Structure 1
Amino acid sequence: MGRIRRLLQQERVQEVPADFRCPLCERKIPLAQRDAHHLIPKSKGGRHTECLHRICHRQIHALFTETELARQFNSVDALLAHPDMASFVAWVKTKPDDFMERTRKSQRIRSK
Structure 2
Amino acid sequence: MAKKSKDRWGIEEDEPEAATEAPICWLCGRVTGETVVWHHPIPKSRGGRETVPMHPVCQNFLIANFTTSELQRHGMDAGSLLADPAVAKFVSWVANKDPDFTAPLARKQR
- Tell me the TM-score normalised to structure 2 length: 0.75
Count, aligned residues: 92
Pick from 22, 27, 30: which aligns with 1:27? 30
Q: Distance in 1 between matches of 2:105 and 2:84?
A: 18
How much has 1:17 moved relative to structure 2?
5.3
Q: Is the 8 A contact 2:64 2:107 kept in 1?
A: yes
Instruction: Report the CA distance between 1:99 and its aligned residue.
Output: 1.0
Q: Match for 1:56: what amino acid?
A: C
Change in Cα spacing, 1:28 to 1:101, as seen in structure 2 (3 Å) is same
Which residue does the alignment assign to 1:7? none
The residue that corresponds to 2:4 in the other structure is none
Matching residue of 1:67: 69
Amino acid at match of 1:106: K
Equivalent-residue separation in structure 1 for 2:43 and 2:52 (angstroms): 12
Structure 2 unaligned blocks of 5 or more: 1-17
Whether 1:97 aligns to 2:106 is no
Whole-Å separation in 1 of the counterparts to 2:70 and 2:19:
27
TM-score (norm 1): 0.74
Q: Distance in 2 between matches of 1:105 and 1:94?
A: 22
State whether residues 18 and 30 of structure 1, in contact with CA within 8 Å, keep that contact through their aligned partners in structure 2: no
Q: Is the 8 A contact 2:25 2:55 kept in 1?
A: yes
Q: Which runs of 5+ in 1 are unaligned?
A: 1-14
RMSD over aligned Cα atoms: 1.7
SS at match of 1:69: helix
Rg: which structure is higher? 2
- Deviation, 1:49, is 0.9
In the alignment, the residues of structure 2 paired with residue 17 and residue 26 of structure 1 have an alpha-carbon distance, to the nearest angstrom, of 18
Structure ranking higher in helix proportion: 1
Q: CA deviation at 1:23?
A: 2.6
